Amino acid sequence: MSDLTTQSKKFQKELNAGTSSLVLLSVLSRSREPMYGYQIAKMLEDNGPDLPLMKQGTLYPVLRSLEENGLLESSVEPSVSGPPRRYYKITEDGRSALKEWLEIWKQTKKFVDAILKG
């Protein structure tokens, strides 16, 4: 693997780390019902099949981190088709964080776009 490929993968990983929490909070803020991990992953995949920004393996640690920080809460419920499922929903603190993070995202995007356009 070339050094450029390695650097590109590292850049993508760092970029994804910051946007994953924003995306997950946004998804859960729009959902009327709590969602489980695979359901979230499938919805993200369906909305951006050519842009695999968040693999299932990275989804769960981000969900756990958001819950540990009080931005999500979860409950485990039995499933008729397999093991119990953990359902996540956004908290009021999560909604507040989402609002702030959206503003930060907009400012960052505006800045980066302006620099890249020259």
Helix (H) or strand (E) holding 59: helix 56-68
Q: How many residues does the chain have?
A: 118
Q: Are 72 and 63 in contact (CB under 8 A)?
A: yes
**Mean pLDDT, range 52-57, rounded to an integer:** 69
User: What residue type is assigned to position 39 of the chain?
Assistant: Q
Per-residue pLDDT reduced to its tens digit, 36-48: 999 999 888 888 7
Evaluate if pTM is beyond 0.75.
yes
- Helix (H, G, I), strand (E, B), or coil: what is residue 31? coil
Say yes or no to pLDDT of 11 above 90. no
pLDDT reported for residue 85:
95
Per-residue pLDDT reduced to its tens digit, 71-112: 999 999 998 888 999 999 999 999 999 999 999 999 999 999
Which among 98, 86, 97 has a CA at the least distance from the CA of 30?
98
CATH 1.10.10.10 fits 3-117, yes or no: yes
